[in-house]
Amino acid sequence: TEHMFFEEDRIAAFREMICADTVEEREAALDKILPYQQGDFKALYEALEGNPVTIRFLDPPLHEFVPTEEEDIKKLADAQGKSVEDIKTIIASLHEFNPMMGHRGCRLAVT
């Protein structure tokens, strides 16, 4: 499922969701993401023509989705009305010593 989000327009919305400070910011980003997921899953189920499918949880560490290039960090900061330093602080907080045991997407609901 994480590969659904790496296209330019999708990754921007996903990064906004990850870096949201408020419920309202997160919900606004999720409102952008939902149509992508709905369309992708609809197309997937139609292509399968009734055959079974296994959908994997979104599982990579969240820091894999945030920008690393200065230009991309600035774009994200501008999109969210935050400073570059604020975004860099959020990004730094997402890096984990052992990402295989940390706050991965599939465990966010239980941590």
Residue 78: per-residue pLDDT: 93
Question: What is the rounded distance in angstroms from the CA atom of residue 14 to the CA atom of residue 5?
Answer: 7
pLDDT of residue 26: 92
Containing structural domain, residue 93: 2-110
At residue 32 the predicted structure's pLDDT band, cuts being 50, 70 and 90, is: very high
Number of domains in the chain: 1
User: Is pLDDT above 70 for 7?
Assistant: yes
Check pLDDT > 60 for residue 107: no
pLDDT tens for each residue of 54-91 = 887 766 677 778 888 999 999 999 988 999 999 999 99
9-15 mean pLDDT: 89
Mean pLDDT score across all residues of the chain: 84
